[in-house]
Chain A
Amino acid sequence: MAPLLTVRNITMRFGGITAIDGVSFDVMPGELLGLIGPNGAGKTTMMRAIVGINRPQKGSVALEGRRLDALSIDARIRAGLALSQQLVKPFREIDVRDNVALAAGAAKTRTPLQALLHVDRTAERSIALEALERVGIAQLAAQSPRTQPLGVLKRLEMARALALKPRLLLLDEPLAGLNSKEASELARTIADVNRQGMTIILIEHNLGEVMRICQRLVVLDNGRKIADGAQQATMNDPAVRAAYLGGEADVAA
């Protein structure tokens, strides 16, 4: 099977600091891949390199064999990526449903002229409701994001990414800041979305949930890839234990 996403030799420097150093990995269709590593390992930088928010000095990213390196952020999103950001940023002037509908309108907002010629939003609003249902907050569709707690906003961020109907969903610490009950519920939602056929890269610090839902792990440390493989085997890798867990911690806990 051909990989959905191939990342080859990505190197990213900021001034004198090498944030990512020659990292390569593949994401297979239908997979839920955990991208983990200690703080400062380069996970979010890698996510931003894939989406094009930061441009790497070296290396290449391809989606279904199509190289994305020359494309702008928005063109990469339209090519089939969707990013759910660590810091939730809903549009506060419009309600929860219209936040998602805006993403669902991608075909109508491709160019300004097309956007000018279209007014009707019924189809996008119903796609938005479906996406909100998938993440379990359909009952809050008419609410303003201003008044919603973080747990809801994290789900809204995910619904917005889903409404883009991406080929690959990138989730950057969706569980951060949630309490353990909320976190395990959202992790279950992520696993459900994956089971319905969505390929996902998950960056997450909550290792318990990562072990519960991810089939394969890529581990970064200090900008380098130190492991890549099935989750249990990777976690038992001495290099990973040394770098990530200080060698002693109990992974399964």
Chain B
Amino acid sequence: MASEQNRRDFLIQAGAGLSAAWLSANWPAILSAAQHAHKAAQAVAPAKFEVLTPEQAVEIDAITGQIIPTDDTPGARQAGVVYFIDRALKTFASGQKEAFADGLAQVQAKTKELFPPVQKFSAASPEQQIAVLKALENTPVFGLFRFATVIGFFCDPARGGNRSEVGWKLIGFDSSHVFQPPFGYYDKDYPGWQPNPADASKK
């Protein structure tokens, strides 16, 4: 469950959609799940970086901002992907600090190589930035940044990315987690399952 708000929506919708008997039977579990989610939500990314240096954060923000750019809709920057990465490196991905530092060095080297005298990826123009990433597209370092960016953009917001669910909103993912049919366009007005009419006409 994404956040306390989602959990609350979940409870409200569950209350509307489910029998009272079911709710009373399951209420303690749901309540405890809600508390769990609340704790997770409180742990949302801090304003300060804990692992990344401010300089590294600027570079990562620029790189991730090209992988999922901001155009008519929010991108990696608005999703707080750099905060997600910082938190990941502090917690479950702590073993990858070196890989990220090394990756930043490679991006910087490629920037200097292609566009002297530009010294830093973040200082390059948007067109130059795209050209640098294109040059690195098939390397493990790009794979690492892309992997982290996509996860940070679409993850559960309790993980510090996907802020305000911008990733989910982009693709039309509804985070209510409780749904009733019809779910989409093609199951509206579905008449119910019928055997293949072609078989009936054969008989």
| Chain A complexes with chain B | no
